[in-house]
Structure formats: structure tokens, C-alpha cells
Amino acid sequence: MMHRWIPTDPAIDRLDATKYTEDQLRSIVMYHITQAVRYSTQFNNGPILSLLEGQSINVAIGNDSLTLNGNVGIVVSDTFATTGVIHLIGEVLIPPTIPAVFKPPAVLVSITPATTPATGTTSLKGTTRSPSPTNKATNDAESTTKLLFGTVLGFLIYVIV
């Protein structure tokens, strides 16, 4: 039986997987799995040492919440699977030996009040700015790396569950 921390889809999308090697992505995935089954009520403040990746995750218990490594919250806890327990988390956990690289926000929005002189009414005038476009090679690399990360994570979930 195993215990898995599974990031949400938006959390995986925020990870800039193109910046990692295949070995680093494998380590990131293995950093989400422990060999011991624990429900959220069984955690104590401090490190969890039995990660398949070989390092530890730090758990902090707050008012009715658990935080991992100081900033990762649990979205859904204590989901039982045939081979263990799954906790859905709001961010991808990155081992301390690997630099964390996340994508910038996709769209920046600026909204300012604008008054129409003819009617005297105020409305919101907005401008939207997207990041600069990327070329096909960058898009292909990002798609391939994201597919690799998703495939490895999906495979581990399928095999372990």
C-alpha cells in the first residue's frame, strides 16, 4: 500500500515542464509518493521520510489544514484507492535539489474607470495583454514535456491504484 500526493490539473499546467530533464521530471513524480499509507488525521508536524524519491516532505498542521513544504495545500484528502490513499494537492511538489520553475500568468489584465462625456456615465475600460507569442518548436517541446510528465504521473497512478 502506498500514499500519493496528486497535483490538480491546473497545478500541473503551471509547472514549466520544458525546463526539466527527463530524470528531473521522474524525480518530481517520485517525490509525490510515499511507501506508507497515512490518512490526514495521522500526520504530525515535521518531515515525512519515506518518499520513493529519497527525500522528505515537511508537513505543517494548522487550523483544520495541512500544508506541505510551507506552501502546498491539500484540496481533497483521504481518498482510498485499492493500493493506498490519495491526497489531491494544489501545487506540484518539487524536491529541494531541483529548482522550481513555474510559468508566468498567461494573461495580464488592466482595468481602469472611464467616463463617457456625452452621458456622464462611468464604465470600465480594459486592456488585455498576452505574453509574447512563441514559435512552433517551443510549443512542440512544451507539449512533449507536458505529455511525458502527465504520462509518467498517469502511469504511476494507474499501476499503483
Domain range annotation of the chain: 2-103+144-160
Residues 6+ away with beta carbon under 8 Å from 97: 27, 55
Alpha carbon of 71 to those of 21, 56, 64, 68, 89: distances in Å?
A: 24, 15, 15, 6, 11
Write down the pLDDT at residue 132.
42
Residue pLDDT, tens place only, 42-72: 888 998 867 888 898 999 988 878 899 988 9
Q: Where are the alpha helices (DSSP H) in the chain?
A: 9-14, 22-30, 136-160
2-103+144-160 maps to CATH 2.30.180.10: yes
Write down the pLDDT at residue 3.
83
Query: What's the full length of the chain, in residues?
Result: 161
SS3 100: coil
Residues 6+ away with beta carbon under 8 Å from 158: none
The cell for 94 is 518539487
Q: Which residues of the chain have pLDDT under 50?
A: 108-110, 122-138, 141, 155, 158-161
The cell for 31 is 517525490
The residue ranges of DSSP E strands in the chain, in sequence order, are 2-7, 33-34, 46-48, 57-62, 65-68, 72-81, 84-89, 108-115, 122-129
Is the full-model pTM beyond 0.75? no
Write down the pLDDT at residue 32.
92
Write down the pLDDT at residue 37.
83
Integer Cα distance of 21 and 17 in angstroms: 8
Q: Starting at the earlier edge strand, list the strands of the sheet with 57-62.
A: 33-34, 2-7, 84-89, 72-81, 65-68, 57-62, 46-48
SS3 59: strand
The cell for 129 is 495583454
Write down the pLDDT at residue 147.
52
